[in-house]
Amino acid sequence: MKVFLGDLVLIQGSIMKKDDRSRINCIFENFVTFLRKCTFCVLSVGPIPEHIAYIMDGNRRYAKKQNLIEGTGHRVGFLALMSMLKYCYEMGVRYVTIYAFSIDNFKRRPEEVQSLMDLMQEKIEGLMEEESIVNRYGVRVHFLGNLKLLSEPVRLAAERAMVATANNSKAVLSICVAYNSTNEIVHAVEKACEEKWEEISLLNASGSGYGLIGLECIEKDEGENLIKLIDIEKHMYVSVAPDPDILIRTSGETRLSNFLLWQSAYCYLYSTPVLWPEIGFRHLLWAILNFQRNHFYLEKKRKQL
């Protein structure tokens, strides 16, 4: 059993000093990283997904399972997230989207919500530090959702993070917070209608609306010409990234829970029974292998058509 106690590590009853631990850990990490990169080379013979989305489920169950105090599950979950991001960016996955906090999660107990908000603020501020993963891999961070629902400190931290990483261009991390898909679609429709309405008003005001006046007389096509799929899509929060190739949900649940409903129309849905804080490299590897197998099958199917 390994227990981290500040700078000391208790390994199977013997205590090692910090320096020895650092050296051994460093060698071990380098070796593991080398093996991982070899694995990615092999994997890259097949298609690598451009965009992976994660529903990070199972933090509370993990805490209960490990007899941890409430909230610790999410902290361990954050560490798991950092690892998964590292693996994704090393592999060449350009876009990662995570379901950090749903609008539905506001229904939880106020203490739990507050604790999650505090954790988020702490970790967002951590992302801005120089040695953080976003700077190491050149990741631009977006916070997507109805941010007005967040408390001011969290919202401000999120806005600062977006500004601070705006020039990063190697990869994108979309953190969905105060988000759900139906809310996103409503927002997109509202914006699309406002935009169209402004366009029509401007054209009418400038006297060049004759084409649209003509349009008003054509009852049948009226609706179709007003709003198109593309008008809605461009106002989606998640339009900063292409549609996900894989959507991974942990903890064994097999549902979307109002996440990326529009964008996951053709996405490969992968559910794994592992709890989010326990997710590791092998789970991602397995998900990618299955994605690749399915991708080949779909290509074959398309050719048969």
Of 7, 19, 57, 104, the active-site residue reads 57
Asked if 67 touches other proteins (CB under 8 A), the answer is no
Between 97 and 181, CB nearer to other proteins: 181
57 flagged as catalytic: yes
- Nearer Cβ to other proteins (165/272): 272
DSSP β-ladder status, 2-5 and 8-11: antiparallel
For other proteins, the binding residues in 140-199 under the rule CB under 8 A are 180-183, 185-186, 189-194, 196-197
DSSP structure string for 32-72? HHHHHHHHHHHHTTSPPPSEEEEE---HHHHHHHTTPPTTH
Structure tokens at 182: 């139906």
Work out whether 68 is an interface residue with other proteins (CB under 8 A): no
Q: How many CA atoms lie within 13 A of 192 on its CB side?
A: 19
Whole-number Cα distances in Å, 174 to 79, 239, 246, 268: 17, 10, 15, 19
- Rounded Cα–Cα distance for residues 221 and 234 (Å): 22
**82, 149, 203, 226: which one binds other proteins (CB under 8 A):** 226
Candidates 122-130, 132-140, 154-162, 221-229; binding stretch for other proteins (CB under 8 A)? 221-229
Residue 222 near other proteins by CB under 8 A: yes
Asked if 107 touches other proteins (CB under 8 A), the answer is: yes
Residue closer to other proteins (CB basis): 156 or 212 = 212
Residues 53, 183: Cα–Cα separation, whole Å = 18
CA gap 20, 14 in Å, rounded: 13
- Provide the CA 216 distance to its chain's centre, in angstroms: 42
Question: What residue ranges bind other proteins (CB under 8 A)?
Answer: 60-61, 64, 102-105, 107-108, 180-183, 185-186, 189-194, 196-197, 200, 222-224, 226-229, 232, 252-258, 261-262, 264-273, 286, 290, 294, 305
- The residues carrying an active-site annotation are 57
